A = this chain, B = another copy of it.
Amino acid sequence: MPKIVDHEQYRKELLDKCFDLFAQKGYGSITMRQIAEGLGVSTGTLYHYFPSKQALFEQLAQEICEQDLSTALAELEGAQTLQESMEALGRYLVKNEDYFIKWTYIWIDFCQHKDSKKMLRNSILKRTNQRYQEAICDLLGIQDSVLPSFVVSFVDGLILEKLWGNETIDFIEQCALLGKMLTAYLPQHPAKIKTKMDFSSAFES
């Protein structure tokens, strides 16, 4: 059955190339013709592999959700102190600003094209969200979920503000501020701290 293998593989190749196309213009604005052109195929071929624009998009969203974050977040690991971690987070956001904005657009588009009740049951979406949160837990060295939710929300909001054209926000500055606030806050609420990370610096500053 080599044909089936080829078909499936080619479909995935096309799907991969779709991320940038959707992200650049958004689900609503990009046309199937533009996608076909971007992929270097005809609209007929595109419809041969994907039954509709909606289906294509849903497959893409699923694909994105299943991407592994670990490599991306690995960049943040070198930091010695919380402050350094947060500053690394800031640099990471700056570097990937465009990507995150695109990602947010696609995500919102995805939400728009599902009934919200199905959404909540959509395990893929939920799992992805959770994974992000866990990554933040590790970064902070904290077990509690309230603080990581705080950080995740803050980061989401940072990206959202940029998406809204707010040019006055500086990711580096904001993350540094987050670092200082955590550093000021955590020593006063020590019960929630994991043992993994050294917060001695917090007491020095």
Residues of A at the B interface (CB closer than 8 Å) are: 2, 26, 28-29, 44, 104-105, 107-109, 111-113, 116, 119-120, 122, 125-126, 129, 145-147, 149-150, 152-158, 160-161, 163-170, 173-174, 177-178, 180-182, 184-185, 188-189, 205
- Chain B residues with Cβ below 8 Å from A188 are 184, 205
- Chain B residues with Cβ below 8 Å from A185 are 180-181, 184-185
- Chain B residues with Cβ below 8 Å from A44 are 2
Contacts A153-B158, A165-B119 given; indicate if A109 touches B112 (C-beta within 8 A). Answer: yes
How many copies of this chain sit in the oligomeric assembly?
A: 4
Would you call the interface of chain A mostly helix, strand, loop, or mixed?
helix
Instruction: Tell me which of B105, B125, B145, B181 contacts A112 (CB under 8 A).
Output: B105
Closest to A161 in B: B153
Assembly CA distance A145 to B181 (angstroms): 16
Assembly CA distance A160 to B152 (angstroms): 10
Report yes or no: A161 in contact with B169, Cβ–Cβ below 8 A: no
Assembly CA distance A6 to B153 (angstroms): 44
Instruction: Give me 11 A-to-B residue pairs in the complex whose CB atoms sit less than 8 angstroms apart, sorted by A's number.
Output: A28-B29, A107-B164, A108-B108, A120-B165, A122-B165, A129-B161, A145-B168, A146-B174, A147-B177, A153-B160, A184-B185
Assembly CA distance A104 to B164 (angstroms): 10
Assembly CA distance A169 to B104 (angstroms): 18
Assembly CA distance A174 to B147 (angstroms): 8
Assembly CA distance A146 to B158 (angstroms): 12
Assembly CA distance A111 to B16 (angstroms): 25
- Chain B residues with Cβ below 8 Å from A174 are 146, 149-150, 153
Assembly CA distance A89 to B126 (angstroms): 27
Contacts A29-B113, A112-B26, A184-B181 given; indicate if A160 touches B156 (C-beta within 8 A). Answer: yes
Assembly CA distance A119 to B161 (angstroms): 13
Closest to A121 in B: B165
